Every structure is written in structure tokens, then in C-alpha cells.
């Protein structure tokens, strides 16, 4: 199976998180963008401050690789105004996909209307600018019942406020890959959590992110029904290697 067009090649570490200087980390980002171009991946997923640079590289290479970035990352606790500003700046800089971290803490605390309003306003901004929108629910922070509830909340909100033609452009995404779990419990996509999302997201597509490190794992996710896979191990996956990446 040719899986490269399912892969959102990802590098989201800050210099501090990578234990690198800013210059060194920028070089890692540059290499990740070039790798996505060379391997013809679907998309390169990077932090907002790198979007304009990626746009310039991709334009010069005449590549079809698209650019994704994360909004209100990684905790999703910013205000609606903050989410909208970050997203608008990313659009101006050339991002094609906007991966919003939903305020899963507010959801868990019962602030359902607040979460709905963020989904409506941020999705509208993205769709109005012909962008792909993804909502990261952070499965590792939720129990199975909450995964179902939050997936259904997003689905029902989109169905109620947007056109059927837009449904394929709004994803439910599993994870940031940055959530800290105890005892090395998986903090990204697992077959179990992805099945729950797929069973409750239709007609919205699902993106599996975090924890997919081998070709067989990627194929298994595709066979379950995901439309995108976010991974920092994209090249290793397509080459049939096992990645030691932590995302």
C-alpha cells in the first residue's frame, strides 16, 4: 500500500523541548520540510512561527506538499479570541490545515457551550478561508466515555452549523503527542481509541496522531478508516523501518 499521501509529517518541538539552540532547531525544521518535499508526503505539520518559512521553501521547490500548523497548542486552554488570532495569523502566513486543540479541560468541567462556541467560530474561520480544520481532542486526557462524548459533540456541532459539503474538511484528531501520561501509558493514537472515534465521528473524518511508528501500524490505522496520520516518523514508516521517535 502506498501510504505517503496519508501522512502528515510532523515536527512540533520547540528548541527547549528538543534540547537544541534556536539555530539548531530551525535546521531540524528545515530538514523536516525538505524531507516532506522529497518524499512527497501529504503535508508538513510544524509550529505557527515556521509556516511562512515552509511556504517559501515549498514554493521554490514547486512541490504540492501542503502546510499544517497547530493552534492553541498543546493544552487548548486559550480564549476564543486567542484561538482565532493564532488561526488568522497562520492563514495569512500560508497554512493550509489548522489543527486546533479543543479545550478538553473545559469539556471535562462541563462547560459544553463554551466548547461548542469555539468549535463553531474557529471552524467557520477556517472554512471561510478554504482551509482544512482539525479538532484535537487529546484522547490520553479522556476516558472512553469522554472520548465518545467529545467526538459526538464536535460531530453534532458541525452538522448543525455547516453544510454537508464541508464535512470532509473538518477532522476529529486524536492527540497532540505532548500530553504527559503516568507510567509511560500511550499518549497518542491507539487502535482502541481510534475505533471509538471512528464509530462516533461519521460523517467527519478522523486523523490518528501520536504513537504511529511503523508501516504496519500505519496500514492498520488506514484499514480502520482514518484519513490522515500525524507522525514524526513519516520517512521511517514509508521505508519500512521502526522509528524511535517519541511522537
Q: Which of 45, 103, 95, 108 is nearest to 78 (CA)?
A: 103
Instruction: Considering the candidates 42, 173, 213, 235, report the single residue annotated as catalytic.
Output: 173
Give the contacts of 107 (CB within 8 A, at least 6 positions apart). 115, 146, 149, 150, 153
Residues 104, 75: contact at Cβ < 8 Å?
no
Instruction: Considering the candidates 99, 155, 169, 213, report the single residue annotated as catalytic.
Output: 99
Q: Is 99 a catalytic residue?
A: yes
Q: What is the CA radius of gyration of the chain?
A: 17
Q: Any idea which residues carry the catalytic annotation?
A: 99, 173, 207
Amino acid at each position: 500500500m502506498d501510504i505517503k499521501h496519508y501522512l502528515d509529517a510532523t515536527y512540533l518541538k520547540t528548541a527547549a523541548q528538543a534540547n537544541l539552540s534556536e539555530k539548531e532547531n530551525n535546521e531540524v525544521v528545515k530538514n523536516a520540510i525538505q524531507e516532506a518535499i522529497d518524499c512527497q508526503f501529504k503535508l508538513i505539520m510544524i509550529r505557527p512561527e515556521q509556516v511562512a518559512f515552509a511556504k517559501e521553501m515549498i514554493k521554490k521547490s514547486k512541490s504540492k506538499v501542503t502546510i499544517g500548523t497547530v493552534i492553541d497548542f498543546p493544552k487548548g486552554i486559550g480564549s476564543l479570541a486567542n484561538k482565532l488570532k493564532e488561526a488568522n495569523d497562520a492563514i495569512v502566513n500560508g497554512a493550509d490545515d489548522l489543527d486546533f486543540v479543543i479545550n478538553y479541560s473545559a469539556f471535562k468541567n462541563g462547560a459544553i457551550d463554551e466548547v461548542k462556541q469555539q468549535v463553531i467560530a474557529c471552524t467557520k474561520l477556517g472554512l471561510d478561508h478554504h482551509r482544512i480544520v482539525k479538532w484535537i481532542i487529546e484522547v490520553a486526557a479522556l476516558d472512553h466515555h469522554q472520548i465518545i462524548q467529545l467526538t459526538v459533540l464536535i460531530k453534532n456541532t458541525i452538522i448543525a452549523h455547516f453544510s454537508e459539503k464541508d464535512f470532509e474538511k473538518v477532522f476529529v484528531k486524536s492527540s497532540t503527542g505532548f500530553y504527559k501520561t503516568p507510567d509511560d501509558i500511550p499518549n497518542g493514537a491507539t487502535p482502541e481509541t481510534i475505533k471509538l472515534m471512528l464509530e462516533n465521528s461519521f460523517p467527519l473524518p478522523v486523523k490518528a496522531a501520536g504513537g504511529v511508528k511503523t508501516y504496519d501500524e500505519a496500514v492498520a490505522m488506514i484499514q480502520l478508516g482514518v484519513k490522515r496520520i500525524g507522525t514524526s516518523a513519516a520517512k521511517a514508516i514509508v521505508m519500512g523501518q521502526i522509528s524511535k521517535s517519541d511522537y
